[in-house]
Amino acid sequence: MGGVSALSRDEIDLANLDDLSTLLTIAAPDVIVNAAAYTAVDKAEADELAAQKVNAEAVGVLAAYAQSKGKLLVHYSTDYVFDGEKATPYLEDDSANPQSAYGRSKYAGEQAILESACNALIFRTTWVFSTHGNNFVKTILRLAKEKESLNVVSDQVGAPTSARLIADVTASAIAAYHAKTLKGGIYHLTAAGETSWHGLALHTVTRAHANGAVLKLNARQINAVPTEAYPLPARRPHNSRLDTGLLSRALNLNFPDWKDDVDQVIDQMLRSETSI
């Protein structure tokens, strides 16, 4: 079995489609896992062409390579392909209706893969967090040290999903695909359960206090506010819940509750203050 090559943003610019094609020819991968994306949701409203270049056109290049060589493309998408108005969790075959430039670019990426007819696994996920990079859990821990009160949106609901869970399920899915027990296509991949951004903030601060963290902020000082009180350029889905039953049944996996990995990440970050 061949090795794994993980390229950083400095090593490949997905906006340079010619360089991307050259890289694929040289590297000749058996499996392409595309975890890169233009994720500046608000910035994309004023620069949709840049978002489309990375999230759709570059994905089309990856799909074309996979199709021509008979290789597998694994790609990550988002709940932003939906409008967030459904009352229940979204199924894979629900109609897409993206309401932001970012959502439109990610949906275009999905379509590029499907139109290529390449071998592909497309995983839609939500509210991703980890100990690395910028994410909501890290932001709340930082603000809890600086502020004595905080307003957090309470009418957007989803499932916080750890990068580790996504990686673990992806590995299982690739193995199942090669064993012919998982078909290619679109699947929803999130942790179990649901909460709001306000609920996630409450849980994060409460967990941090239970671990002895010295914070200015406590849970009682986190105020629930509606989306309209915190206007942003890009529209956020009110309902980011994705039904994961299709993937869960196919892999015979029960996805863990979102709190499990959130707690683990909080505990890890508190043990290493430089990570916050």
| Cα distance between residue 13 and residue 21, in whole Å | 11
CA atoms in the 13 A half-sphere facing the CB of 107: 18
* Cα diameter, the chain: 57
Q: Between the CA of residue 22 and those of 65, 66, 119, what are the distances in Å? A: 11, 14, 21
Question: Residue 1: pLDDT above 70?
Answer: no
Average pLDDT over residues 114-141: 96
Q: Write down the pLDDT at residue 122.
A: 98
pLDDT at 275 over 50: no
- Look at residue 2 and tell me whether its pLDDT is greater than 70: no
Q: What percent of the chain has pLDDT over 90?
A: 92
Residues 6+ apart with CB under 8 A from 3: none
**Average pLDDT, integer, range 63-77:** 98
The pLDDT assigned to 272 comes to: 83
pLDDT tens for residues 34-56?
A: 999 999 999 999 999 999 999 99
Mean pLDDT of the chain: 95
Question: How much is the average pLDDT of 59-71?
Answer: 98
Does residue 224 surpass a pLDDT of 70?
yes
102 is catalytic: yes
Q: Which amino acid belongs to residue 13?
A: D
Q: pLDDT category, 124, cuts 50, 70, 90?
A: very high
Kindly report the pTM of this predicted structure.
0.95
The percent of residues in the chain predicted with pLDDT above 70, rounded, is 98
Per annotation, catalytic residue among 65, 102, 107, 187: 102
Which residue ranges form the domains of the chain, and what is each CATH number?
A: 17-275 (3.40.50.720)
What is the pLDDT at residue 133? 86
**pLDDT above 60: residue 274:** no
Phi, psi of 114 (to 5 degrees): -65, -40
pLDDT of residue 9: 82
**Residue 49 backbone dihedrals phi, psi, to 5 degrees:** -60, -40
